[in-house]
Structure 1
């Protein structure tokens, strides 16, 4: 299946195209670059036909950037009518992966957003995994660091673990499985009047071991480092993500409510992670 990149004319979108081209080559997938064109009512409100006229140029620059990053990758491009969010969500129904820049342009004002609304929308609702690429990730040489996966101890995190092992195997990279437990339910410990942190840590190491059970047999080529830390999940993952080539998280976390689209940790990482973040949809329990 193909890998799809949303193009909006911004530099972050070009970074996403560069990163996705290398990723598509690694996975031996075709690459599809898609640019949304506002429908007639939206154009009337904006009062400018230039909004349509500039789109082909955006795609052409993205194709050039992608080919420069990974020559030989099969690339197709298309202008599609609709808002960026609805276009990409429709594309997600028949794609292996969506890739978007962490920052985007407002459709009509051209103002760059801290986290593009389209990036957050597709990370929340996409039918396939989504990679959000921070600025500068595409220009840098391909990272040789590890794949980092956040493991929260819940069964809904299994799809993220599967994706992380697959990425580590395909990229011949080590995998770091991180379980950060500052926000775990330790009420029972505190109710007893004391917290034996060594016992709690032992318990959390057991949780991580249980979640990883079976995966090593399926991916014997992947070297795995287990990390259990008492810290805030976002802070820990951001700090260690600086040396990673990819950070993998689930769309919902431990204790997530059925129907909840994206967990607080995953959402926060989209704003501040120093490396590309792969958000893997969690199936409803």
Structure 2
């Protein structure tokens, strides 16, 4: 177990909302969003900070960065960041149960580890130039390897986070898409919001490459895809009769269409890892693109582990 300090280890081990903080504006936005999200879902909040000593080796050198004085200074700063974050969360949601954890391991490793027992992991992104490159390794490592849903939060240009509008889910018919649908219905029900199911049919690209007529040119393809989508949603509509649902079928780039929806949605839900081969990479690239560019929070859902 990594060297760590924290509060209430039993709480940290339960299905809490985990949020990573590091003192940046983007992390502060994620903290505030995560506090409200945890309260809405009646979950405790775990605020965590992973200190990667390797990150300062290039500046201080391996000897200095590993010295007891430097380690203690980093711990002291980390404890202050966590205390401030806890105070902020408690001021927003006074009744919220909160635990904190400070670890000397890499932040992405810590978040992936905690995701195994988490309800969700929340991360923030700064909007200024270069911020994503700075935090990219953590974002993409966690979104790729976490076992719980990962929610990437970024504010609107005016600094707000949308709390109105539909919940939008990307559907491609894969097993991980099923997990995304389930999560999206639960979120829409909790928020009393409309659910928009977006299905982008892109297989025609491969038919055109082989010299075959694309389904876009074939009669009835949209009707067929609409029927397939309705079938995918039917069981969830019965489970969540309170959720109004609409369908959208597109014959274009998934990332582009979902990015357009992110301008008016309060949450976009997508799966990570779709159908095999090229189409699996297509969905992966969609999630990757939305993490970088979407205008609202993005929930990335992973498939349930197979036995």
TM-score interval, normalised by the smaller of the two chains:
0.7 to 0.9
Q: Does 1:34 align with 2:48?
A: yes
Q: Mark the CA change 1:255 to 1:66 in structure 2 (over 3 Å): closer, same or farther.
A: same
Which runs of 5 or more residues in structure 1 are unaligned? 105-110
Q: Mark the CA change 1:136 to 1:65 in structure 2 (over 3 Å): closer, same or farther.
A: farther
Q: Does 1:20 align with 2:39?
A: no
Distance in 2 (CA, whole Å) between partners of 1:21 and 1:156 is 27
The residue number in structure 2 matching 1:108 is none
The residue number in structure 1 matching 2:137 is 117
Q: Mark the CA change 1:193 to 1:216 in structure 2 (over 3 Å): closer, same or farther.
A: closer
The residue number in structure 2 matching 1:252 is 273
> Which whole-Å deviations, capped at 9, do the CAs of 1:216-248 have from their partners, x for residues lacking one?
111111110111122211111111111111110
1:217-228 pair list within 5 angstroms: 217-228=238-249
SS at structure 2 position matched to 1:214: helix
Q: TM-score, normalised by structure 1?
A: 0.86
Cα displacement (A) at 1:272: 0.6
Distance in 2 (CA, whole Å) between partners of 1:45 and 1:52 is 18
SS at structure 2 position matched to 1:150: strand
Asked if structure 2 preserves the Cα contact closer than 8 Å seen for 1:176 and 1:224, the reply is yes
SS at structure 1 position matched to 2:131: coil
Q: Mark the CA change 1:75 to 1:46 in structure 2 (over 3 Å): closer, same or farther.
A: farther
Distance in 1 (CA, whole Å) between partners of 2:156 and 2:214 is 49
SS at structure 2 position matched to 1:176: strand
Asked if structure 1 preserves the Cα contact closer than 8 Å seen for 2:46 and 2:98, the reply is yes
Q: Mark the CA change 1:91 to 1:131 in structure 2 (over 3 Å): closer, same or farther.
A: same
Distance in 1 (CA, whole Å) between partners of 2:257 and 2:55 is 46
The residue number in structure 2 matching 1:47 is 64
Cα displacement (A) at 1:183: 4.5
Q: TM-score, normalised by structure 2?
A: 0.80
Asked if structure 2 preserves the Cα contact closer than 8 Å seen for 1:183 and 1:232, the reply is no
Q: Mark the CA change 1:81 to 1:182 in structure 2 (over 3 Å): closer, same or farther.
A: same
Q: Mark the CA change 1:256 to 1:138 in structure 2 (over 3 Å): closer, same or farther.
A: farther
Residue in structure 2 matching 1:174, options 183, 194, 214: 194
Asked if structure 2 preserves the Cα contact closer than 8 Å seen for 1:18 and 1:139, the reply is no
1:209-220 pair list within 5 angstroms: 209-220=230-241
What is the alpha-carbon root mean square deviation over aligned residues? 3.2
The residue number in structure 1 matching 2:101 is 78
Aligned length: 280
Which runs of 5 or more residues in structure 2 are unaligned? 1-14
Q: Mark the CA change 1:217 to 1:195 in structure 2 (over 3 Å): closer, same or farther.
A: closer
Q: Mark the CA change 1:139 to 1:193 in structure 2 (over 3 Å): closer, same or farther.
A: closer
Distance in 1 (CA, whole Å) between partners of 2:17 and 2:214 is 53
Q: Mark the CA change 1:70 to 1:153 in structure 2 (over 3 Å): closer, same or farther.
A: same
Residue in structure 2 matching 1:130, options 150, 161, 166: 150
Residue in structure 2 matching 1:6, options 17, 20, 33: 20
Q: Mark the CA change 1:100 to 1:192 in structure 2 (over 3 Å): closer, same or farther.
A: closer
- More helix as a share of residues: 2
